[in-house]
Amino acid sequence: MSALAARADDGSHWGPMLERPLTNMATTHSWPHRHLLGIDGLSAADVGVVLERAETYLQLSRQREKKSATLRGRTLINLFLEDSTRTRGSFELAGKRLGADVVNVSSSGTSAAKGETLLDTARNLDAMRADIVVVRHGASGAPHMLAEHTGASVVNAGDGQHEHPTQALLDAFTIHRAKGKLAGLRVAICGDIYHSRVARSNALLLGLMKADVVLCGPRTMLPRDANVLGPTVTVTHRLAEAIEGADVVMMLRIQKERLGKAMMSTAREYSRTFGLGPRVLAAMKPDAIVMHPGPINRGVELEPTVADGPRSVVLDQVEAGVAVRMAVLDLVGNDGPGVMRREDAPASRSKGKRA
Ligand code: NCD
């Protein structure tokens, strides 16, 4: 069922529950990870568990009483050392809806801004007995480093140009709800692939779930080896080719803050060649959906009429973000290995790596 039809049916933003469960494996598969550092390292069954549990939390989030006690008594620290609106807000809401004590730490006004090393930050978080640390960092690999040096479960909320696993999971959740499946779909991801951790995590996850991925962008915004970013990736420099037959078209932001001047001539020229406006929309499959992780550069990669139009599931992605992050926090906080031992660990545990 298309997102459009689903919405018309029950008047809500989302459609009714899908008839088909995500995977049959997921119900019997137990979550084996203490951290979520990337899609790299997850199995299709792991993804299935996250998406299934997210469905429960989506329903909970739609109720008047949105709280569960899943993480009651636990401390969640959101360490955001790079700008964020949606991701930070949704991790905060997710933690609160699960009953955790949530502390938000951002880059300005923290010791990181005064030159504290990530290792020292990790030791301090440990001394505060954080149970889960969600980290966004400008350096690729920062969450992995934190995971090595803290007893907490670490969730990667975006590290440099590397990975953004919860974004890929919420995108998969959104696609699955709109299309009823992931396997066999054709997903076009267009824009600044080179700088995009969203593209990397999506290429891995969609490949894992047997969807075909087409990466599209100007030569300067595609890594030379873009075809190895995921097991089902093909590459094109032509938007018309990317969208042809696509079930999903995911537009990415031009990352101005990471771009050198030479990479993009003018925003207008870019939008003429790679922007998604009504003309391109008309050439897409009639039931294809339009996605964007946000923040949108309106009028550059996405025309406002398309961003706000009936084919756009951008706000569905935002809603899914809270539900999927609740699922991830619940899984690493309650199901992951080492969780039960944590409460018994001595306060000095920061000196050693815990199993
Ligand atoms: C993305 C990110 O930070 O990587 N945004 C997000 O998490 N919603 C994409 C972007 O910044 O363009």
Largest separation between any pair of C-alpha atoms in the chain: 62
- What residues make up the domain containing 278? 165-317
Residue 289 sits in the same domain as residue 278: yes
Span 95-123, pLDDT tens digits:
999 999 999 988 765 666 566 788 888 88
Q: Are residues 169 and 269 in the same domain?
A: yes
Please tell me whether residues 156 and 266 are part of one structural domain: no
Collect contacts of 121-127 with beta carbons under 8 A, ≥24 apart.
121/79, 121/146, 122/146, 122/149, 122/150, 122/350, 123/149, 123/150, 123/350, 125/77, 125/79, 125/150, 125/152, 126/150, 126/151, 126/152, 126/349, 126/350, 127/347, 127/350
Instruction: Convert the pLDDT of each residue in 271-316 to its tens digit.
Output: 899 999 999 999 999 999 999 999 999 999 999 999 999 999 999 9
Same domain, 156 and 195: no
Q: Ligand 1 atom closest to Cα of 293?
A: 8
Same domain for 216 and 132: no
**Taking CB atoms and a 6 Å cutoff, what residues make up the pocket around ligand 1?**
86-87, 158, 164, 167, 197-198, 253, 255, 293-294
DSSP strand pairing (186-190 vs 248-251): parallel
Within this chain, do residues 269 and 129 fall inside the same structural domain, yes or no?
A: no
| Residue-level pLDDT at 118 | 84
Of 317, 332, 349, the domain-final residue: 317
For helices 3-10 and 165-179, what crossing angle results, to 10°? Answer: 70
Count of domains forming the chain: 2
- Other Cβ atoms less than 10 A from the Cβ of 346: the count is 9
Q: What does the pLDDT look like over 42-72, one tens digit per residue?
A: 999 999 999 999 999 999 999 999 999 999 9
In this structure, the answer to whether residues 205 and 221 fall within a common structural domain is: yes
Nearest to 38 by CA among 191, 116, 155: 155
Residues 238 and 335 in one domain: no
- Cα 355 to middle of ligand 1, angstroms: 32
Q: Is 156 part of any domain?
A: yes
Ligand 1 centroid to Cα of residue 9, in Å, is 31
For residues 198 and 113, state if they share a domain.
no
Give yes or no: residues 65 and 179 share one domain. Answer: no
Tokens of 307: 């961003």
* 111's tokens: 């010791």
105 and 178 in one domain? no
Q: What CATH number did the domain enclosing 201 receive?
A: 3.40.50.1370
In ligand 1, the atom with minimum distance to the C-alpha of 136 is 3
Residue with tokens 């989302």: 14
Instruction: Kindly state whether residue 10 falls inside one of the protein's structural domains.
Output: no
pLDDT of residue 106: 83
Give a yes or no: residue 324 inside a domain.
yes
Domain assignment present for residue 12? The answer is: no
Structure tokens at 299: 């009028």
Please tell me the distance between residue 294's alpha carbon and the centre of ligand 1 in angstroms.
Answer: 6
Atom of ligand 1 nearest to the CA of 157: 7
Do the Cβ atoms of 178 and 3 come closer than 8 Å?
Answer: yes
pLDDT tens profile 238-275: 999 999 999 999 999 987 765 656 555 677 888 899 99
The answer to whether residues 148 and 215 belong to one domain is no
